[in-house]
Structures are given as structure tokens and as C-alpha cells.
């Protein structure tokens, strides 16, 4: 057998394997030439990807652990206070933020679904963060399809409630982490509720409840599907979808509105037929009722004072916001009261007349059967005149206090100095400047003057009330006792802390105390309610941060006997039918009331009532610069402004309008057995015509007192200090629609001397 030594032979010996030599000095691998030499190997790719993944996971874990759910932004949690009329319409919203948070249960299902259709249709089934939506939104923006929301509702809520609006990577990262944590710690319903209460809808409205009011003037639970879809439309970009902004905005808004409704259909939340039947509901084109400008501020101030005085809330809690109040104020009657003031007062004012800049009005109106305040007038503009004419306690009540003196006399069966019980036919001296005598007959040193120093001679109490004779009621107050007069006034409704009423003195009977119109109307309402006092009620519903606050029960109580109240009302009817308050008879209904003109004519009052409604109107003089009290001489183009003039006219116009359409009610008076006569100094009043007593003659609403003493002082009417022709004076009633005025035998008015009609007494003037 031969040997084969060739290398290619079949029988050649196998070659030994040797390792490939290492590449040195930057040598290249065989086969990786050209551009391939710059590509990383698959091993490097895997290693890099793994490193990035681990880093990303570590970053996410670290971020999740480090980023906590922060405290909410103060502005995001802030709410406005909302004040409503009795019918639910908004009086005003106060606070830095127009927001009224509501629980989710108060948001109807179709409103929630409209929001979900617009912003996050998978909210209840998807996670807090939707990466695909974020990528899709970014891609659409790159394609020029406008601003797109890649955020879920949870993310948007985080941005609204916890974070600022800056578009930074750090803020976005925090948003993601907080959203995930919120989704784990809170239910979807809780997150949706928070979102609905913090989202901005435009028109300075934060939250769906404020938006419902701003755009449609209703609460969120009253929105229909069309309205809900429009509010949902606004969430994407409120400024771009407000139909008030112009045709282009309107077209854009309607397209988005259709998109929302189509989304509801596609999700099975709305039938196609229902959707096709819907029509776009135009939002309101009115300015929001926010802030305290105009006359709203006076209403808000009065309600706030009531809440504090009733112990329901303190000022600090009111300032915190989140308070929702439904008041007893009637929007129609409120409007009528404002109109009456504008017509009767505003129509007479002249910007060129300096005196007119001093005059301010205040009024309050209350239902007699339940104590509900239904209207209040504080002034022309709260931002210009902060002091409310309805609640200020710094002007004398004047002769509007005299009915309380008479009611006290009847309630306590007081007797005059002759020992006879005081009643409507009791006679007193009406001589101006006559010294008031103490019960023991000694002089008191107090000699109050009548208005314009008019002497009336001897006259019955009924006549003295008609003519508002100071001398009579000054003596009667001493006969009754100032302490009992004060007690009766307080029981009827005046606050015991009323300035000038804290302690009893003889001058109390002439109205030196300074109650507000709101105080005084409560006392007159008690007379109208036959002596039963219904405490003031201004609020029927109160919630704080969505929690209902229980309101106290106010039970009526007996202030004075029915007989005393009704007998007083009987005299006050005569004041309207033929006395100083005759201008009020223009109301065209049975009415009772009393006029009052304060010391030096610094205030003019009319306080009156029908069986169902009591209202007090006051005009006061205030220095426009220093704020001090000034006389009303020459204001409104009149020599004097008295309670029987413009205040009575305002009262009549308002009351007639407030009761329009309601049944005309008669007074159901039961004055009881009243004294038949008697008089001081032994004068039993036999010389007086019995018809001068309203309790024993023709109804004051029909004929009034049949006899009156002759008018002293020429053509100047008695007791009021007004020139002839003023309402309720002279030979006949003046035109109640015109201002008091007319000719006078003197060259001008005769103002009281400083210190009041009673000289050093400080007593208020009479009307």
C-alpha cells in the first residue's frame, strides 16, 4: 500500500485548528467595511436598551415615591358666596373666585356624560394616564390640527387643583405621577366631582355650577342636554367657543357642540333620534350678577348682618366663601321698590341743585303674617355710598314713634292726670311750648314745641295723632311712664340697643331714638299683625361648603294685646285717610301709617302698612363730603321735605305695585272697650264731636274725622310744618303724585331751633 503525501488527497491527514489572531492597532473586522463599521453591534444595542429600560423604571419608581399629592392651590379651593332671591334667581356672587362647588349627585347624568364625551370617553374604564392619547395629541398638533388634549380628566383635574398652568417637562412629569396616585387613592366619582368643580368655563366661571348660572341663569341640575353639551364644549378652550365673540367663534362652537353630541351617541349615552331633535340653546347675553356694585351690595350686606346677628355664621366664615344663601327677598317686589324710589325721588332730583346731593333714601318691606323681609332699598350704588339707608341707625325716628306711646298707654291702661284711662277721645292740651307736668302735677322743666310752633288748643288724642302734635304725646308719655313706653317699643320690635332707646327719658315719646327702617318696619308689622310679633326672617336656606345649616325656628309671640294693637291701628288709619299721611291713600287699599320729620328736617319718614304688608321709607340728609347730618331744606326743589310728601308717595306707589293682583283685604280690628272720654285738667272732652274718635264714628277710610279745629296760622297746615298744599294738610288733599309745595304766607320755611322742637329737650320734630 502506497503512501499519499498530497494535501488534497482523500487520505490526507486532518489539519489542526488554530485560533484567529487578534486584531491589533485598530484593525477592522473582516466583512465590516464601509458604513457598516459605524453601526453598533446587536450586543451593544441590547445592552443599551436594557440600561435605558432599567433607568426608566428606576426613574418612574423614584418619581412615584418622591412626588406626593400636594395640598390644593388656595385659588382652586376658593369659592364665592352666592346670594339668591326667594325664587332662586341670583342676587349676587361675592369673593375673588366665581365658584360654587356642588356634590356629584347634584350634577345630572346627561351633564356628566356630555363632559365625558368631550374630554375623556374612557374615563371610567381607562387608567389615569393614556400614553396613546398623548402621542395622538402630539401628532395632531404637529400636523397643524390645532390644540389637542392628550390629558385624561384625572390629569386635567391635577392641573386644575394642584399644579400651575406652566407647560414644562417638570410640571408634566409631576402631573403624571400625581394622576396615578389619585387614581389609586380616590374613586372615579370623586375625581370627576373635583374636575367639574375646578374646571374653567369662561366668563369668569369656575366649576359647572357657576357656569350654568353664567351661561343659562339656572342651577346645574336644571340644565337640559343641549345646554350641557355647550358647557362641555367650552372646556376645551372657553375663549374659542363663546358664541358671543363673533360669527367665527359661533361656527366653531356649533361644530364642537355637534362633536360632543355625536360622542354621546357613539357611546350609547344618547339616542340618535334624540340627538337629531336637539336644537342649540343660546346662552344668555347678560352681564354676570357678581360683586357688590349697584344696589346688590346693600342686599348682601343686610343678609350678612342677619347671619351674624342670628349666630349662624361669623364674619370670618363668610369671608372664607362657600356660603350659599336663599333669602326671603322677592325679586318682583324688590324691583317695584327700586322703581318707586327712582320715580318719586329720582324724578325730582337735579344735579345742578347742591341740596339734592345730600339726600339719600332707605326702605324696608316686610310681610306682616310671617316676618319675611321681601324688599329692601339701601341706596343708589353700594360702591359709591357704603352706608345703607335701610340699616343705618343714626337718624331720629321722629313722630313715627308716637304710635308706640299710644299703644303703651292702652296696653298698660294708663291714666291721664285727671285719673281717666287714656283712649282715642281723651283730650290734651295741644299748646306749643306748654310745660310737661309730672304725675304729681309738678313741672318738669320740659316745654316741647309743636311743628312750626303751632297751637292747637285742646283736642282729642285721635286728632293729635292725625296732626302729629308734639305737646300731646310728650305729656302722654310722661303719664304712661317713659320706662313703659320704652318697654312697649322694644316688645313691638325695636332693638333694645337702638341708640337713644337704651334708657328712658321724657323725650323718648317724640322719637329721639334712631332705629333703622329695617328696625322700624318690624314694630309696625307687629301692629298690623294685631300685636303678635313675628321675628324678622331673611334666610330660608343656608349651606356652607355643600352642607345644609339648620335654621332656627322663630315662633311668634304676643307683644301687646290685640285690643291695644288694633286700637292703635285704628288711629293710624285716620292719619292716612285724612291726616298728615294722606298722600299714602293713593295706594287704593285700606292702609294705616304715620309720618315723621326729624329734628331740623334732617330726616323724613313714612311708616305704614296694609293688613298683609308693612313698609317704612326714610329720606335723610347727609353731607356728601364730611358725611355729617344736614337739613333737607331746599332739596328736591321744595322748601321742606316731610314724611307726608315724597316718603308717603314712595310708600303708596310701591305698596300698590307690590300687592297688585292680590285680593284687597280689610283690616279686621277689634279694639275692645275703649274709654269714652276724659281729659287732663278735668276736661272730659264733651265739647268734641264724637266722630273725631275712629272707634265711634264713620270709618276713617270713608270719611275720616268729621271735625277739626280751625287751621291756625293762616294757610300753613297744622302739625306738619309744610306749606299749604302738602299732602295731608290744608283744606283738602294735595295731588299725591306731585311734590309737596305751594304758597306760603311767609317768605320761607321756619326751621326748628337747634336742639329740636322742644328747645333744650332735644326732642325730634313732628310731622
Cell numbers that stand for 601 in this block: 328736617
Q: Where are the alpha helices (DSSP H) in 143-235?
A: 153-161, 169-185, 188-198, 208-216, 225-234
Last residue of a domain, one of 256, 277, 298: 277
Decide: 702 and 667 in contact? Cβ < 8 Å: no
Q: Are 266 and 409 within one domain?
A: no
Give the domain range for residue 536: 398-540+558-761
Show the CA angle centred on residue 330, arms to residues 325 and 334, nearest 5°.
110
d(CA 517, CA 617): 7
Please check whether residue 329 lies inside any domain of the structure. Answer: no
d(CA 379, CA 342): 10
- Tell me the C-alpha to C-alpha distance, in Å, between residue 237 and each of 147, 249, 252, 663, 731: 9, 11, 11, 53, 72
Last residue of a domain, one of 234, 261, 277: 277
d(CA 590, CA 595): 17
Decide: 98 and 153 in contact? Cβ < 8 Å: no
- Tell me the C-alpha to C-alpha distance, in Å, between residue 252 and each of 156, 232, 237: 23, 14, 11
Last residue of a domain, one of 277, 303, 333: 277
Q: Report pTM.
A: 0.73
DSSP 445-483: S--PPPGGG----EEEHHHHHHHT-HHHHHHHHHHH-HH
Query: Please, how many CA atoms are within 13 Å of residue 692, restricted to the half-sphere of its CB?
Result: 25
The alpha carbon of 77 is separated from its chain's Cα centroid by a whole number of angstroms, namely 23
DSSP 531-565: TEE---B-EEEEEETTEEPPPPP---EESS-HHHH
Please check whether residue 405 lies inside any domain of the structure. Answer: yes
Place of cell 343659562: 216
Please check whether residue 365 lies inside any domain of the structure. Answer: no
Please check whether residue 352 lies inside any domain of the structure. Answer: no
Strand partners, 242: none
Please check whether residue 114 lies inside any domain of the structure. Answer: yes
Collapsing DSSP states into helix, strand and coil, what is residue 376? strand
- Tell me the C-alpha to C-alpha distance, in Å, between residue 336 and each of 87, 216, 651, 679: 16, 25, 11, 45
How many residues are listed for the chain in this entry?
767
Please check whether residue 725 lies inside any domain of the structure. Answer: yes
Residue pLDDT, tens place only, 342-355:
999 988 999 889 99
Q: Are 273 and 405 within one domain?
A: no
d(CA 573, CA 705): 11
- Tell me how many domains the chain contains: 2
Q: Are 270 and 403 within one domain?
A: no
Burial grade of 214 (CB within 10 A; 0-12, 13-18, 19 or more): buried
Please check whether residue 2 lies inside any domain of the structure. Answer: no
DSSP 686-714: TTS-GGGSGGGSS-TTTT--S-----SST
Residue 413's CATH number: 3.40.710.10
Each residue of 180-211: b (16+ CB within 10 Å) or e? bbbbeebeeeebbbbbbbbbbbbbbbbbbbbb
Low-confidence ranges of the chain (pLDDT < 50): 1-11, 64, 67, 141, 144-148, 167, 682-762
In the chain, DSSP finds a helix count (H) and a strand count (E) of 21, 14
Q: Are 516 and 659 within one domain?
A: yes
Strand partners, 206: 99, 200
- Tell me the C-alpha to C-alpha distance, in Å, between residue 452 and each of 117, 597, 712: 78, 12, 11
| Close Cβ partners of 287 (under 8 Å, ≥ 6 residues apart) | none
DSSP 581-638: TGGGGGG-S--EEEEEE-GGG-EEEEEEE-SSEEEEEEEEEB-TTT--B---TTGGG-
Collapsing DSSP states into helix, strand and coil, what is residue 494? coil
Please check whether residue 380 lies inside any domain of the structure. Answer: no
Decide: 674 and 424 in contact? Cβ < 8 Å: yes
Amino acid at each position: 500500500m502506497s503512501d499519499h503525501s498530497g494535501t488534497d488527497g482523500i487520505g490526507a491527514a486532518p489539519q489542526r485548528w488554530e485560533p484567529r489572531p487578534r486584531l491589533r492597532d485598530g484593525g477592522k473586522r473582516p466583512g465590516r467595511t464601509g458604513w457598516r463599521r459605524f453601526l453598533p453591534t446587536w450586543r451593544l444595542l441590547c445592552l443599551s436598551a436594557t440600561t435605558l429600560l432599567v433607568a426608566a423604571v428606576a426613574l418612574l419608581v423614584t418619581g412615584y415615591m418622591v412626588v406626593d399629592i400636594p395640598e390644593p392651590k388656595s385659588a382652586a379651593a376658593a369659592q364665592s358666596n352666592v346670594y339668591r332671591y326667594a325664587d332662586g334667581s341670583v342676587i349676587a356672587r361675592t369673593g375673588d373666585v366665581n365658584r360654587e362647588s356642588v356634590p356629584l349627585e347634584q350634577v345630572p347624568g346627561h351633564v356628566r356624560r356630555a363632559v365625558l364625551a368631550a374630554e375623556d370617553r374612557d374615563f371610567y374604564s381607562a387608567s389615569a394616564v393614556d400614553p396613546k392619547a398623548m402621542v395622538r395629541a402630539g401628532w395632531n398638533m404637529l400636523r397643524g390640527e390645532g390644540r389637542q388634549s392628550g390629558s385624561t380628566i384625572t390629569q386635567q383635574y391635577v392641573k386644575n387643583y394642584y399644579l400651575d398652568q406652566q407647560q414644562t417637562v417638570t410640571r408634566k412629569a409631576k402631573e403624571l405621577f400625581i394622576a396615578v396616585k389619585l387614581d389609586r387613592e380616590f374613586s372615579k366619582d370623586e375625581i370627576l366631582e373635583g374636575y367639574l368643580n375646578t374646571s374653567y368655563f369662561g366668563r369668569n366661571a369656575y366649576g359647572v355650577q357657576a357656569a350654568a348660572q353664567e351661561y343659562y341663569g339656572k342651577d346645574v341640575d336644571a340644565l337640559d342636554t343641549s345646554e350641557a353639551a355647550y358647557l362641555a364644549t367650552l372646556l376645551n378652550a372657553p375663549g374659542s367657543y363663546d358664541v358671543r365673540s363673533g360669527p367665527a367663534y359661533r361656527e366653531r362652537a356649533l361644530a364642537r357642540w355637534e362633536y360632543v353630541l355625536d360622542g354621546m351617541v357613539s357611546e350609547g349615552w344618547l339616542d340618535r333620534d334624540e340627538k337629531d331633535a336637539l336644537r342649540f340653546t343660546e346662552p344668555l347675553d347678560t352681564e354676570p350678577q357678581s360683586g357688590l356694585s349697584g344696589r346688590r351690595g346693600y342686599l348682601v350686606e343686610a343678609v350678612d348682618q342677619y347671619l351674624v346677628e342670628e349666630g349662624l355664621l361669623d364674619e370670618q366664615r363668610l369671608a372664607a366663601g362657600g356660603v350659599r344663601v336663599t333669602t326671603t327677598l322677592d325679586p318682583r317686589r324688590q324691583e317695584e321698590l327700586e322703581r318707586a324710589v327712582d320715580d318719586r325721588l329720582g324724578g325730582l332730583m337735579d344735579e345742578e341743585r347742591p341740596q339734592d346731593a345730600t339726600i339719600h333714601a332707605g326702605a324696608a318691606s316686610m310681610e306682616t303674617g310671617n316676618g319675611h323681609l321681601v324688599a329692601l332699598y339701601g341706596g343708589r350704588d353700594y360702591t359709591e355710598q357704603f352706608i345703607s339707608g335701610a340699616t343705618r341707625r343714626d337718624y331720629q325716628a321722629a313722630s313715627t314713634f308716637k304710635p308706640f306711646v299710644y299703644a303703651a298707654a292702652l296696653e298698660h291702661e294708663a291714666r291721664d292726670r285727671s285719673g281717666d284711662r287714656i283712649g282715642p277721645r281723651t283730650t290734651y292740651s295741644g299748646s306749643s311750648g306748654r310745660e310737661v307736668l309730672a304725675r304729681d302735677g309738678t313741672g318738669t322743666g320740659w316745654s316741647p314745641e309743636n311743628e312750626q310752633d303751632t297751637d292747637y288748643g285742646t283736642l282729642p288724642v285721635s286728632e293729635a295723632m292725625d296732626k302729629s302734635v308734639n305737646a300731646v304725646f310728650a305729656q302722654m308719655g310722661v303719664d304712661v311712664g317713659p320706662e313703659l313706653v320704652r318697654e312697649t317699643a322694644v316688645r313691638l320690635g325695636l332693638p333694645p340697643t337702638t341708640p337713644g332707646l337704651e334708657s328712658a327719658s321724657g323725650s323718648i315719646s317724640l322719637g329721639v331714638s334712631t332705629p333703622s327702617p329695617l328696625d322700624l318696619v318690624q314694630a309696625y308689622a307687629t301692629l298690623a299683625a294685631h300685636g303678635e310679633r313675628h321675628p324678622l326672617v331673611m334666610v330660608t336656606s343656608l349651606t356652607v361648603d355643600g352642607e345644609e345649616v339648620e335654621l332656627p325656628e322663630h315662633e311668634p309671640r304676643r307683644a301687646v294685646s290685640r285690643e291695644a294693637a288694633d286700637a292703635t291701628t285704628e288711629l293710624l288709619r285716620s292719619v292716612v285717610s285724612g291726616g298728615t299721611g294722606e298722600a299714602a291713600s293713593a295706594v287704593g287699599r285700606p292702609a294705616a301709617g304715620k309720618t315723621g320729620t326729624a329734628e331740623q328736617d334732617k330726616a323724613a319718614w313714612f311708616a305704614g302698612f296694609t293688613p298683609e304688608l308693612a313698609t317704612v321709607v326714610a329720606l335723610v340728609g347727609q353731607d356728601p363730603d364730611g358725611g355729617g347730618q344736614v337739613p333737607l331744606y331746599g332739596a328736591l326743589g321744595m322748601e321742606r321735605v316731610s314724611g307726608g310728601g315724597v316718603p308717603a308717595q314712595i310708600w303708596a306707589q310701591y305698596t300698590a305695585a307690590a300687592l297688585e293682583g292680590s285680593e284687597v283685604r280689610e283690616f279686621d280690628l277689634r279694639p275692645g272697650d275703649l274709654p269714652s272720654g276724659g281729659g287732663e285738667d278735668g276736661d272730659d272732652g264733651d265739647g268734641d264731636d264724637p266722630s273725631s274718635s275712629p272707634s265711634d264714628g264713620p270709618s276713617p277710610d270713608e270719611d275720616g274725622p268729621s271735625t277739626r279745629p280751625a287751621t291756625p296760622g293762616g294757610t300753613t297746615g297744622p302739625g306738619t310744618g309744610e306749606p299749604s298744599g302738602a299732602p295731608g294738610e290744608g283744606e283738602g288733599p294735595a295731588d299725591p303724585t306731585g311734590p309737596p309745595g305751594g304758597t306760603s304766607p311767609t317768605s320761607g320755611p321756619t326751621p326748628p331751633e337747634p336742639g329740636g322742637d322742644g328747645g333744650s329737650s332735644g326732642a325730634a320734630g313732628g310731622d
